[in-house]
C-alpha cells in the first residue's frame, strides 16, 4: 500500500482493478478496511482507490481536531496526486460528510458521487451516540465490546438476532492490524460533530445519488431526504431493507444501486 504526502499529512492508499476511477471514502474511525468486502467487487468494473483518512490505518495522526473540510482537502489532494480526476466517489457516513465537502469545494474533481448513509449535520441523538462511544474508548473498554454495544445502531435485527454472526462481525475489530488510536478517533469526531453542509449544498452541482436504507436509525432517512432536497442534481434512493452498515449486511442490494447509478451517469 503506497504512501504520499498530501497537505503535509502522510496518507496510505491503494488502487486496484481496471476501468474508470472510483474513490471510496471511509466513515468515522474506519480505515480503508471498511471497504474490504465491497472494494474487490467494485474493482471488477472500476479502478478502485481506497485510502486511510488522516487519523486511521497507516496514515499519519497529526494533532486534532480534523475539520471535515480538511479531510476533504486530503481526498482531493490524493485525486490530484494520482492524476485520475474527475473521478466517481462513494462516501459512507463520515465519508459522506467528506464527500459533501468535496462536492461543494472540489466539484471539478468529481464526475459523480454516491452519499451512502450520510447526513448533513449532527442531531442531539447523534451527539449523544458519539459521546457514549468516546467515553467507552477513553475508558479503555475492549474494542470487541465497543463494537457489540454499537451494533444496534448500524445493523438490523436480522443480523443482531444471529449471535454467532454478530459476534464474528464484532471480532473483526480485534483482527485489525492497524487499529485507530484514541487520538485519531477523537480528532475525527471533533470535526464531524460540528460540520454542517446545508448552507452550501445548493452549490454542489455534481450528479449525486443519495442512498440510504429504510432501517437506518443512526442516520435516518429524513437526513438523506434533507440532503437530496438541497442539491440541484441529486437523486434519492431508499432501499427497503438495510441500516447504517447495509453495505456489509446487504452488499448485493447496496452495490447494485451504486453501480447502476454510476453506469447511468457514465452513459449520460
pLDDT value at position 244? Answer: 98
To the nearest whole percent, how much of the chain has pLDDT over 70?
99
**Predicted confidence (pLDDT) per residue in 39-98, tens digit:** 999 999 999 999 999 999 999 999 999 999 999 999 999 999 999 879 999 999 999 999
DSSP state of 201: G
Q: Of 122, 239, 144, whose CA–CA distance to 190 is shortest?
A: 122
Locate 204 and state its grid cell: 454542489
pLDDT value at position 267? Answer: 73
Q: Of 249, 33, 29, whose CA–CA distance to 133 is shortest?
A: 29
Please say if the pLDDT value at position 268 is more than 80. Answer: no
Q: Is residue 1 very low, low, confident or very high in pLDDT (cuts 50, 70, 90)?
A: low
Q: Please state the separation of Cα 236 from the chain's center in Å.
A: 17
Give the span between the Cα atoms of 103 and 219, in whole angstroms.
20
Pair 226, 200: CB distance under 8 Å: no
Give the span between the Cα atoms of 69 and 124, in whole angstroms.
22
**Predicted confidence (pLDDT) per residue in 87-131, tens digit:** 999 999 999 999 999 999 999 999 999 999 999 999 999 999 999
Pair 68, 120: CB distance under 8 Å: no
Mean pLDDT rounded to a whole number for the chain: 96
pLDDT value at position 77? Answer: 97
Amino acid at each position: 500500500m503506497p504512501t504520499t504526502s498530501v497537505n503535509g499529512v502522510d496518507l496510505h492508499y491503494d488502487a486496484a482493478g481496471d476501468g474508470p476511477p472510483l474513490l471510496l471514502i471511509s466513515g468515522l474511525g474506519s480505515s480503508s478496511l471498511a471497504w474490504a468486502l465491497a472494494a474487490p467487487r467494485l474493482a471488477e468494473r472500476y479502478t478502485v482507490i481506497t485510502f486511510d483518512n488522516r487519523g486511521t490505518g497507516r496514515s499519519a495522526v497529526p494533532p486534532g481536531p480534523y475539520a471535515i473540510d480538511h479531510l476533504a482537502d486530503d481526498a482531493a489532494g490524493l485525486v490530484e496526486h494520482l492524476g485520475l480526476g474527475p473521478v466517481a466517489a462513494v462516501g459512507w457516513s463520515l465519508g459522506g460528510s467528506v464527500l459533501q465537502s468535496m462536492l461543494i469545494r472540489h466539484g471539478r474533481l468529481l464526475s459523480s458521487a454516491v452519499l451512502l448513509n450520510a447526513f448533513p449535520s449532527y442531531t442531539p441523538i447523534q451527539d449523544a451516540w458519539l459521546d457514549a462511544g468516546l467515553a467507552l474508548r477513553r475508558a479503555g473498554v475492549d474494542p470487541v465490546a465497543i463494537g457489540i454495544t454499537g451494533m444496534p445502531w448500524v445493523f438490523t435485527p436480522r443480523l443482531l438476532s444471529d449471535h454467532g454472526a454478530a459476534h464474528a462481525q464484532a471480532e473483526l475489530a480485534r483482527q485489525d492490524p492497524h487499529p485507530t488510536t484514541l487520538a485519531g478517533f477523537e480528532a475525527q469526531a471533533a470535526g464531524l460533530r460540528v460540520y454542517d453542509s446545508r448552507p452550501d449544498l445548493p452549490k454542489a452541482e455534481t450528479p449525486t445519488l443519495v442512498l440510504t436504507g429504510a432501517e437506518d436509525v443512526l442516520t435516518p432517512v429524513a437526513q438523506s431526504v434533507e440532503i437530496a432536497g438541497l442539491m440541484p442534481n441529486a437523486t434519492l434512493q431508499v432501499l427497503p431493507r438495510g441500516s447504517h452498515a447495509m453495505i456489509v449486511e446487504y452488499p448485493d442490494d447496496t452495490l447494485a444501486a451504486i453501480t447502476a447509478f454510476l453506469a447511468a451517469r457514465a452513459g449520460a
